[in-house]
Structure 1
Amino acid sequence: MTEPARARPIFSTEDFALLKEAVQHYIKVIEDKPESVKFVNLYHRLGRLG
């Protein structure tokens, strides 16, 4: 019986920094819209990961 392949990460640590920067920029663009709250929460979650 063969072993399953090892899971590989989808994103690198550097990717999280880039995503966080992009989300931060987008938050400034949509700051007056209700959906900005969701992006602020995403920004904080990305900060915990990377």
Structure 2
Amino acid sequence: GRREVKLLPDKWTVITKDRSLSAQWEHTILVTDSGFEVLTKRAEDDI
């Protein structure tokens, strides 16, 4: 779907305004006293 989204009345569900299929993903981050590490980052990815 396009980048524009709409939050539905349940305040949880998000859809694309054009109602196209889309996907969502997240990273897992480890936070320590000395910084952080992105655990799910692939070696070739820049963050």
Normalising by structure 2, we get a TM-score of: 0.20
In terms of fraction of residues, the more strand-rich structure is: 2
Q: Which structure has the highest helix share of the two?
A: 1
What is the TM-score with the length of structure 1 in the denominator? 0.19
RCO (CA 8 Å, sep 6+): is it higher in 1 or 2? 1
